Structures are given as structure tokens and as C-alpha cells.
Amino acid sequence: MKLNYYKDTDSLYIDLSSHPSAESREVSEGVVLDYDADGNITGIDIDNASRKIDLREVILSRIPAEVEALTA
């Protein structure tokens, strides 16, 4: 999983899968879910992210994986 924030567009993309998306659905204003050809969710796109969520802190709880942090 990857979190990508684009400051110029104030959008946050949460990449959940390496599979390409085949379909997108807006589930709430400015929140779009991407799905692969089998209907599995591959990503979440959040427009105006800084107004919807607190981007200053990310908390990972009980994640059984390595965490790589890249700073902008």
C-alpha cells in the first residue's frame, strides 16, 4: 500500500494494489474508488484532502510489514 499526496492538487491517492484499475466510482463528493477488472478495490482518490483529513500525522497500528517513510 502506498500513500501519495499531491500538494498542487491537494489530492491524496491511496494505492492498495499493483493491479491496474478498470473502473472508478465516486462514492462521496471528491472520494473516488478504483476497481480492477475483477471488481477488487485498487485505490482511493481523495480530492481536497487537506480539508477532509488531517494530513499532518499518519498512525499505523498493528501493521505486519516494513514501513518505508519518504519525506517531501
pLDDT at 47: 98
Span 47-69, pLDDT tens digits: 999 999 998 888 878 888 777 77
Q: Which three cell numbers stand for residue 37?
A: 477488472
Higher pLDDT, 61 or 18: 18
Buried b (16+ CB within 10 A) or exposed e, 6-40: eeeebbbbbebeeeebeeeeeeeeebbbbbbeeee
Count the Cβ atoms, other than its own, within 10 Å of residue 66. 5
Q: Which three cell numbers stand for residue 11?
A: 489530492
Question: Backbone phi, then psi, for 23, in 5-degree steps?
Answer: -155, 150
What is residue 67's predicted lDDT score, i.e. its pLDDT? 75
- Provide the mean pLDDT of the chain: 91
